[in-house]
């Protein structure tokens, strides 16, 4: 009877959910280094997106299909693209932004075709904001964490629980406006259990070993 109770306790301990661990990044290079070859960079100045005339909306049929092929699906406010902004973009050779924030009508909200482990974005030189990541689609499930980005800066995060959707806001900016580009996302190079998960596994195995010894 004791063996059954101990084994049941071990199973219960092992079934406890582990909280997601989130790491934030202000360095694009460091963020990219944490992800593997499945990393995707959504370059607004490259094909297929550069083929659409500037001023398109992200949920217009053509651009929406192109974004979907890249792995992202916008929802909510139909954000607009803009060109000719090379003087406010850090990355050479880029001049297109997605206009974001309440000052432009709404936020950028994204579902992922397949859940991801990390997401990041670059801002123009004038504005800042933040990225919030959720475990479910349509900003549902759990708010996993957030990463801020400053003027001309990068904001990204990776999570041990997969990300189903993100929200890019400009609510830290005085005019509630910002322009973002180079949306990027991907998966871990290797799945590494959290320390808390290791602890649960070791505790469970120890209890099972104790139960087996008692039986003998």
**97/84 Cα distance (integer angstroms):** 9
SS3 at position 208: helix
Structure confidence at residue 188 as a pLDDT band (50, 70, 90)? confident
The first and second tokens of residue 37, run together, are 């070859």
Fold for domain 19-190? Answer: Jelly Rolls (2.60.120)
Structure confidence at residue 198 as a pLDDT band (50, 70, 90)? very low
Residue closest to 83 by CA, chosen among 49, 127, 108, 106: 49
CA 42 to chain centre: 13
* Tens-digit pLDDT profile for residues 72-123: 999 999 999 999 999 999 999 999 999 999 889 999 999 999 999 999 999 9
* Tens-digit pLDDT profile for residues 39-57: 899 999 999 999 999 999 9
**179/66 Cα distance (integer angstroms):** 20
The domain ranges of the chain are: 1-18+194-216, 19-190
pLDDT for 130 equals: 94
Dihedral sign from CA coordinates of 168, 173, 179, 181: negative
Is 60 within 8 Å of 188 (Cβ atoms)? no
**167/144 Cα distance (integer angstroms):** 12
Q: How many Cα atoms occupy the beta-carbon half-sphere of 141 within 13 Å? A: 19
Q: Any idea what DSSP says for residue 50?
A: G
Tell how strand 40-42 and strand 178-186 pair up.
antiparallel
Omega before residue 106 within 30° of 0, cis: no
- Reported in sequence order, the residue ranges of 26-153 that DSSP labels E, i.e. its strands, are 40-42, 72-75, 80-82, 97-100, 108-123, 129-134, 143-149
pLDDT for 201 equals: 47
Q: How many Cα atoms occupy the beta-carbon half-sphere of 216 within 13 Å? A: 5
**59/140 Cα distance (integer angstroms):** 20
């Amino acid at each position: 009877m004791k063996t059954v109770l101990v084994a049941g306790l071990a199973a219960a301990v092992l079934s406890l959910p582990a909280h997601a661990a989130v790491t934030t990044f202000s360095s694009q290079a460091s963020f990219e280094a944490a992800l593997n070859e499945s990393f995707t960079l959504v370059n607004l100045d490259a094909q297929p997106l550069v083929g659409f005339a500037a001023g398109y909306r992200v949920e217009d049929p053509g651009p929406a299909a192109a974004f979907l092929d890249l792995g992202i699906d916008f929802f909510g406010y139909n954000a607009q693209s803009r060109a000719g902004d090379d003087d406010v973009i850090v990355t050479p050779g880029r001049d297109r932004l997605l206009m974001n924030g309440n000052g432009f009508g709404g936020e950028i909200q994204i579902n992922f075709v397949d859940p991801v482990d990390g997401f990041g974005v670059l801002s123009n030189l004038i504005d800042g904001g933040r990225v919030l990541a959720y475990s479910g689609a349509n900003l549902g499930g759990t708010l996993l964490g957030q990463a801020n980005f400053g003027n001309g800066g990068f904001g990204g995060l990776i999570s041990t629980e997969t990300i189903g959707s993100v929200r890019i806001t400009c609510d830290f900016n005085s005019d509630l406006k910002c322009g973002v580009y180079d949306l990027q996302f991907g998966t871990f190079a290797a799945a590494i259990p959290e320390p808390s998960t290791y602890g649960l596994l070791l505790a469970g195995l120890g209890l099972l070993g104790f139960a087996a010894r008692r039986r003998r």
